[in-house]
């Protein structure tokens, strides 16, 4: 369950936001990552009797830009939708940017986002500022962050907090904008094709809005870009407070777009080569194989062929292999398909060849 939402009148704005988040990635899919979740399950509301059956959808995407001043800028976009039988759909969207430091295992980020959330005729503009730290510990990753979210009735006379269900008048108001601060944490563990995550969020403020939310989730990646996700927890009031907090449990599907799901990170597998949709070099048992290269001919040259072009032998599934085994050590290699340009397949280290191009470096054990 995502904490965002927007009114039906803001579909056009949400659409523009999504276009903004998607146009850039189309030109460089390798920098683009996104997930789309669809789930359903029961929810027991904090401030109402009975249970409802929720239907949720969420889409999040990010696009990494070139490094700037030693930082990694990242554009982010999120869209969420939640429906229940007797209420209008609650929706939300936001777009923003984040600056990440470039540590491999640890770092910090600063970010800001704007958006809107609400349901029916009630809507609120949202602004969020956040700062966080991340830390990788083996296969686990921990994120801690603090965020300040401001929202108000700037989008229309019927918007804002008037219809909210979480006693919003007790929130802090500044110049017509209401805000709250959240402390969040998330720990995720990835093993093979399974992911487990635990999130804790503490919303700060006066007693009526001071809440603690949590979620325990698990994802089973059935395919490189497709998995089953289940989650349970206690949500905070969402979508601009038009959806109250609830205890919930959902089961759904998760689609990975552009980025790499855990199953894809297992290098040296056919699944990775095929899912990457690009020629990928694999070395297993000293045998060189190029995966996912739908071509009529494929050639390789490298120090192991004295830089003479040698045809690769086709295998099934768009794979090509070099019949001779490679000797252990560091090797340089280029490949080409259908007589095209010599290139470096992914899976090889790309280095300057000294002739105005690049060569792939591989390490054979």
Where do contacts with another protein occur on this chain (CB under 8 A)?
30-31, 66-67, 70, 102-105, 260, 265, 267, 276, 278-280, 301, 303, 306-309, 329-330, 332, 341-347, 349-355, 357-359, 361, 363, 365
In angstroms, give the least distance from the CB of 105 to another protein: 7
Please tell me the distance from the alpha carbon of residue 298 to that of residue 317, in angstroms, as a whole number.
Answer: 14
Q: Which residue, 186, 260, 178, 278, is CA-closest to 223?
A: 260
Least distance to another protein from the beta carbon of 237, Å?
Answer: 35
Element (H, E) at 18: helix 11-27
Least distance between another protein and beta carbon 46 (Å): 39
- Identify the three-state secondary structure at position 175: coil
Region label for 29, one of left (φ > 0), alpha (ψ between -120 and 50) or beta (otherwise) = alpha
User: Positive or negative CA dihedral for 187, 103, 77, 170?
Assistant: positive
Q: Rounded to the nearest whole angstrom, what is the least distance from the CB of residue 247 to another protein in the complex?
A: 35
185 vs 305, beta carbon nearer another protein: 305
**265: Cβ contacts below 8 Å, ≥ 6 apart:** 272
Residue closer to another protein, measured from CB, 64 or 203: 64
Taking Cα atoms as reference points, which of 85, 87, 111, 108 lies closest to residue 98?
Answer: 111
* Helix (H), strand (E) at residue 358: strand 358-364
Q: Per the structure block, which two tokens stand in for 173?
A: 């108001």
Q: How far is the CB of 19 from another protein (least distance, A)?
A: 23
State the nearest-atom distance from the C-beta of 222 to another protein, in Å. Answer: 21
Least distance in angstroms from the C-beta of 246 to another protein: 36
Phi-psi region of 149 (alpha: psi -120 to 50; beta: other; left: phi over 0): beta
Quote the CA–CA distance of 188 and 202 in Å, as a whole number. Answer: 18
Q: Please, are residues 240 and 123 in contact by the beta-carbon 8 Å criterion?
A: yes
Measured CA to CA, the distance from residue 76 to residue 60 in angstroms comes to 7
- SS3 category, 122: strand
Q: CB-wise, 183 or 188, nearer to another protein?
A: 188
Residue 104 or 207 having the CB closest to another protein? 104
Residue with smaller CB distance to another protein, 157 or 354: 354
Please identify, using beta-carbon distances, which residue of 2 and 336 lies nearer to another protein.
336
Q: CB of 324: closest distance to another protein in angstroms?
A: 17
- Which residue's CB is nearer to another protein, number 46 or number 72? 72
| Nearest CB to another protein, comparing residues 173 and 350 | 350
Q: Report d(CA 290, CA 299) in Å as an integer.
A: 10
């Amino acid at each position: 369950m995502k904490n965002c939402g927007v009114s039906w009148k803001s579909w056009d704005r949400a659409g523009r936001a999504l276009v903004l988040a998607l146009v850039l990635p189309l030109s460089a899919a390798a920098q683009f990552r996104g997930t789309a979740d669809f789930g359903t399950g029961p929810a027991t509301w904090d401030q109402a009797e009975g249970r409802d059956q929720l239907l949720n959808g969420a889409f999040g995407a990010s696009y990494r830009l070139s490094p700037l001043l030693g930082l990694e800028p990242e554009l982010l976009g999120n869209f969420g939708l939640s429906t229940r039988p007797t209420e209008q759909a609650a929706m939300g969207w936001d777009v923003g940017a984040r600056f990440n430091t470039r540590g491999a295992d640890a770092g910090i980020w600063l970010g800001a986002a704007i958006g809107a959330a609400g349901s029916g005729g009630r809507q609120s503009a949202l602004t969020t500022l956040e700062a966080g730290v991340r830390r990788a510990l083996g296969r686990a990753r921990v994120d801690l962050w603090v965020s300040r979210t401001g929202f108000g009735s700037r989008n229309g006379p019927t918007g804002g907090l008037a219809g909210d269900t979480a006693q919003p008048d007790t929130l802090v108001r500044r110049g017509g904008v209401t805000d709250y601060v959240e402390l969040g944490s998330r720990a995720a563990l990835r093993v093979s094709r399974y992911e487990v995550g635990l999130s804790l969020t503490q919303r700060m403020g006066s007693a009526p809005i001071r809440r603690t939310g949590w979620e325990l989730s698990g994802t089973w990646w059935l395919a490189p870009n497709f998995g089953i996700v289940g989650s349970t927890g206690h949500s905070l009031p969402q979508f601009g407070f038009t959806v109250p907090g609830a205890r919930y449990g959902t089961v759904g599907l998760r689609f990975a777009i552009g980025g790499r799901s855990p199953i894809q990170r297992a290098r040296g597998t056919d699944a990775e080569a095929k899912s990457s949709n690009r020629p990928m070099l694999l070395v297993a048992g000293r045998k060189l194989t190029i995966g996912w290269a739908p071509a009529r001919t494929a050639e390789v040259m490298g120090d192991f062929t004295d830089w003479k072009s040698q045809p690769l032998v086709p295998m099934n599934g768009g794979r090509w292999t070099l019949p001779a085994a490679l000797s252990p050590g560091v090797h340089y290699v280029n490949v080409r398909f259908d007589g095209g340009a010599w290139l470096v397949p992914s899976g090889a280290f790309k280095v300057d060849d000294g002739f105005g191009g690049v060569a792939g470096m591989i390490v054979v054990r």
